[in-house]
A and B are shown apart, each in its own frame.
Chain A
Amino acid sequence: MSVQVLPGIDRLALSKSTKIAGLRVAFPREGVAYDDGLWLGLRFRVEGGLYDVFNRDVWQSAYAVHDNAMRFTYRVKVLRSGIVPRAVAGPLKCVRKATLYWTRNPDLTDDASNAIWAMVVDEEKVPHLFDSEAALKGFLFSFERKLLVPAGSLRMGEADLMVRVEGKWGRHSYIEKGQTSATSEPFRVKVS
């Protein structure tokens, strides 16, 4: 159905101000054998408009216009640095979702005007419940993943790599559709 717009919200500005921040990659400093896989630890956050607008007050208004789910889709690629960076792994597509629902938890609500709460379903389709907005948003917009790059897709010797994350979200009553991306600092991995 058509997306209804919540009044008093500059949806486009919120979308444009959303960014991926704090992108860090952990990698084995001692190197990796050619036959083994290269495990990378990825961390990043979503900050800005989407983070700010997805709050409890907006949940009540969004729910009232049946805007009940927010999907954040992100793609992760591992690139070999160069004049034209080339992908050596990925894109790995992941979806994290927040579902708004009417709660009957007496600790969270005392009347119908603030009865809407959110549940987070992570990339592995595991649901997560929280009893504070801060904890919920902290989980929803913070990401930690392990990535496996087959070492065989790298050449022997030293490989200069980067990780690129591209995130996107759809049009909602409280934010316009948008996308953002970030690339990590290059890092060097020894393949022997």
Chain B
Amino acid sequence: MAQIQVTDERGARREVNLIRKTQSICPECNRILPAFIFERDQKVYMTRTCPEHGETEELYYGSYQMYLKFSAYWSDGKGTEAPNVSIENCQCPANCGLCSNHLSHTGLANIIVTNRCDLTCWYCFFYVKKGLEGAYVYEPTLEQVKMMARTLKAERPVPGNSVQITGGEPTLRDDLPEIIRAIRSEGVDHIQLNTNGINIALHPELAKAYRDAGVSNLYMSYDGVTAKTNPKNHWEAPYAIEACRKAGLGVVLVPTVIKSINDRELYDIISYAKSNIDIVRAVNFQPVSLTGRMSKKDREKYRITIPDCIQKIEEQSGGEVTADSWFPVPSCSPITHFIESLTHKPQYELSIHFACGAGTYVYLDDRGRLLPITKFVDIRGMLEYLDEASEELNSGANKWLTLAKAARKMNSFVDRDRQPDGLNIGKLLFDALVRHDYSSVGQFHMKSLFLGMMHFQDKYNQDEERLQRCDIHYLTPDLRIIPFCSFNVIPEWYRDRIQKKYGVPVDEWERRSGEKLEARLYRGELRKRRVGPNEKLDPGCGCAVMAQSVSNA
């Protein structure tokens, strides 16, 4: 392996093993710089040197072995044929829109419906702060939302079909059901609502209203199982989950993981999801993105990566969810390619960079333990088989013979002795892959959880190879589609500039709405609630949990 020299913590120059070269940006001035990804002490780091601001080194991936294993699944996607930025004007990442060099279609499109929030978390840069010079409220109109959704559907060869409504706190918009219906009316099939859940906890009828309007699931912040690790919505989340249970609205729990803050509770969060498995569909861990200026010492204190989280889950679960159960997101590519080879039509693909995300499924067995799917399905063998089958189809093999072989073969990847009772994974795979019938997937989800990892970048670990493959995008009122890791990582070029252009000053918003910005701030009403003497509560519901905690305090 080639070697390069980097500066160590004592300021001395040291040789390390170079893995690859890429491009990054200077965290101070955004200058695009050559960057080196290297291995040291079995971890992966990135370094680059700005002629003006010096060297920046950052932890890139917490395990060199996992980096190698996951990078073998690298698979570039088709991108989009209708970019808003032509190739002549491509200056990645300075002119996103999408450009003709972008390599992933939109997998999930974010629509920000407000930058108002009912919380004022000290670390957050998203919400409007009254009193700051130039503060504005950004809330696109219904017509603008429709046009954004239409832009998404106009993507080719694969029209976007999944939207996340986000903010600020989107439930502060009283017209949110209309917004949801407007997006649905443009042909979007999957809508998830990113929320802290507080408004739904306060007004449980909202869960049904959003479900009826067309929301598929909630994407709810949930940073820990104690009030200390989750001051945001520790008390309110059980209420919100109960409301969703009654409305039949699925929930995905979303912990932002910060080393030394909540990284000791990863399996506790999974256990909480397990105890609500009838309504919680997934836990999607998001290792923290470190926005703003931060010293290297602080970054080392808080920085955590996907392999670190995966390792901690294995340790905290006592080996129940092992590190080898996880696969990088682009490992799904053989499934996409197989279906494309069968149908001769471009399909939805997850072609993001292998370092951006990972996932696994766990199934709740009869003993109440979580069984990773890899314990009874040979996922690796199945993906390899689908790769081979795609090649045979592309080489002219008979489609029906190949399908018949695939139907017989699917069961061979399942260990029936270890497969949980009542589950027929072989049939589920056959139905999904061969017949494109996904009805049994819902049944699988009743006793399973998807565990995911999604690590959004920041200026310290920005890798343009990752940005070019990002498939989580933002739709904007100027009808551009901008990748997450340029929209939020370089907000002065994208998020703040666009929102300010389409926003109104706070005092003008207050005049128009007849409402003060701070009127909707959450002041802990649920935390002050006391249970009435004759009030009967279901044992598992949030109110009972709250009441018990209060009486114990």
Question: Is the beta-carbon distance between B101 and A105 smaller than 8 angstroms?
Answer: no
Q: Does A101 contact B (CB under 8 A)?
A: yes
Question: Is the beta-carbon distance between A104 and B23 smaller than 8 angstroms?
Answer: yes
Question: Is the beta-carbon distance between B388 and A127 smaller than 8 angstroms?
Answer: no
Q: Does A119 contact B (CB under 8 A)?
A: yes
Question: Is the beta-carbon distance between B341 and A112 smaller than 8 angstroms?
Answer: no
Within the complex, what minimum Cβ distance (angstroms) separates A165 from chain B? 18
Give bound CA distance, A2 to B340, whole Å.
9
Within the complex, what minimum Cβ distance (angstroms) separates A138 from chain B? 16
Q: Does B317 contact A (CB under 8 A)?
A: no
Within the complex, what minimum Cβ distance (angstroms) separates A67 from chain B? 9
Given contacts A66-B78, A68-B76, A126-B72, contact A104 B345 (CB under 8 A): no
Question: Is the beta-carbon distance between B68 and A127 smaller than 8 angstroms?
Answer: yes
Within the complex, what minimum Cβ distance (angstroms) separates B509 from chain A? 41
Give bound CA distance, A114 to B279, whole Å.
49
Question: Is the beta-carbon distance between A170 and B72 smaller than 8 angstroms?
Answer: no
Task: For chain A, residues 110 to 125, give those with C-beta under 8 angstroms from any C-beta of chain B.
Answer: 112, 119, 121, 125
Q: Does B22 contact A (CB under 8 A)?
A: yes
Give bound CA distance, A170 to B388, whole Å.
9
Size category of the binding interface on chain B: 35 or more
Give bound CA distance, A100 to B78, whole Å.
13
Q: Does B409 contact A (CB under 8 A)?
A: no
Contact partners of A119 in chain B: CB under 8 A: 71, 74
- Interface-forming stretch among B228-236, B390-398, B494-502? B390-398
Within the complex, what minimum Cβ distance (angstroms) separates A44 from chain B? 21
Q: Mark A140-164, 1 if CB is under 8 A from B, else 0.
A: 0000000000000000000000000
Number of interface residues of A (CB under 8 A): 31
Main secondary structure of the interface of A (DSSP, over half): loop
Give bound CA distance, A69 to B337, whole Å.
11
Given contacts A1-B341, A68-B75, A105-B22, contact A170 B394 (CB under 8 A): yes
Q: Does A43 contact B (CB under 8 A)?
A: no
Contact of A102 among B2, B101, B391 (CB under 8 A): B101
Contact of B76 among A95, A101, A106 (CB under 8 A): A101
Within the complex, what minimum Cβ distance (angstroms) separates B78 from chain A? 6
Question: Is the beta-carbon distance between B71 and A127 smaller than 8 angstroms?
Answer: yes
Given contacts A1-B340, A68-B76, A71-B387, contact A106 B34 (CB under 8 A): yes
Q: Does A9 contact B (CB under 8 A)?
A: no
Give bound CA distance, A63 to B72, whole Å.
18
Q: Does A30 contact B (CB under 8 A)?
A: no
Residue of A nearest to B343 (CB): A1
Contact of B21 among A102, A105, A125 (CB under 8 A): A105
Contact partners of A102 in chain B: CB under 8 A: 76, 101, 103, 465, 468
Give bound CA distance, A138 to B464, whole Å.
29
5 other A-B residue contacts (CB within 8 Å) besides A102-B465, A104-B464: A66-B78, A127-B71, A129-B19, A170-B394, A171-B391
Which A residues are closer than 8 A to B by beta carbons? 1-3, 63, 66, 68-69, 71, 73, 95, 99-108, 112, 119, 121, 125-127, 129, 131, 170-171, 177
26 contacting pairs across A/B (C-beta < 8 A):
A1-B340, A1-B394, A3-B394, A66-B78, A69-B75, A71-B387, A71-B391, A73-B388, A100-B76, A102-B468, A104-B463, A104-B464, A105-B22, A106-B23, A106-B34, A119-B71, A119-B74, A125-B69, A125-B72, A126-B72, A127-B72, A127-B74, A129-B19, A170-B394, A170-B395, A177-B395
Which B residues are closer than 8 A to A by beta carbons? 2, 19-23, 34, 68-69, 71-72, 74-76, 78, 87, 90, 101, 103, 340-341, 344-346, 384, 387-388, 391-392, 394-396, 463-465, 468
